[in-house]
Amino acid sequence: MITTSIRSTLAVLLAAATLSAAQAQGFLHSATKPAPRTDQGWKDRARLLDERLKENQDTQLLFIGDSITQGWEGNGAKDVWAKSFVKHKAVNLGIGGDRTQHVLWRLINAPIDNAKPKAAVVMIGTNNSNGEDNTPGQIADGIAAIVAKLRERLPQTKILLLGIFPRGENFNPQRGKLTQINQVIAKLDDGKNVHFLDIGHRFLNPDGILPADIMPDYLHLSTKGYEIWAEAIEAKLNSLLTDSK
């Protein structure tokens, strides 16, 4: 019988081997090619986050993602963050506009050698889904590469991998694309080190409409949206943090 521990190890090795094989054969695509951004705003933010990590080596919790994650620093969301995550010495590593390749580059270069966070919340990929930039499969590859890199650099850290949040007021093709990605990355859940949670339905009305009071631009969260996010992950996150003691 294959134990959970062995299954977890095999999943990580498989993800790493798949990525290595793709690299060797030249099949890497933009979502899996680690890349920094060239705009000064990004460079400044990335430098700030590196300093946060150096100053908070005792953090118990990381949040990794794009503008939706960075939005925890917004006016209303700050209070939700303070109530739910400050007690865990949480560090926000979100950068607006980031795609999987940018997060991957940041994880490779981040000063986390001495950090031992108990958990990391990861939600990334929506920016890769714009237009024809990347296919659902490519975006899922990029997310898998991020999970593999996190497991490599922070092997003791539990990963709470969130499904990409829905976007657009009504049913639309992009929502379908995100759903396909979430169905694939759910398979990264090994029950031990990587845990998948899809909370997207909590933002929708029963008729499938995404309310403006939750996502004013139908992509980024309002204070109410961040309250929903915090509440939706609270039980699972507390479980992971407790198991890591």
Closest Cα partner for 153 from 66, 220, 62, 41?
A: 62
Do the Cβ atoms of 141 and 176 come closer than 8 Å?
no
Do the Cβ atoms of 138 and 129 come closer than 8 Å?
no
Instruction: Show Cβ contacts of residue 113 under 8 Å, excluding neighbours closer than 6 positions.
Output: 153
Options 8, 30, 220, 244, the catalytic residue = 220
Options 30, 67, 239, 244, the catalytic residue = 67
Angle (CA) 153 155 157, round 5°: 105
Closest Cα partner for 92 from 67, 128, 125, 114?
A: 67
Options 58, 79, 133, 217, the catalytic residue = 217
| Cα 50 to Cα 112, 114, 210, distances in angstroms | 9, 13, 35
Q: Does the annotation count 88 as an active-site position? A: no
Q: Does the annotation count 217 as an active-site position? A: yes
Q: Does the annotation count 67 as an active-site position? A: yes
Q: What phi, psi does 39 have (nearest 5°)?
A: -70, 145
Which alpha helices (DSSP H) does the chain contain, by range?
4-24, 40-55, 67-70, 75-84, 100-109, 136-153, 173-185, 223-243
**What order do you get walking across the sheet with 61-65 strand by strand?**
91-94, 61-65, 119-123, 158-162, 194-197
**Enzyme catalytic residues:** 67, 217, 220
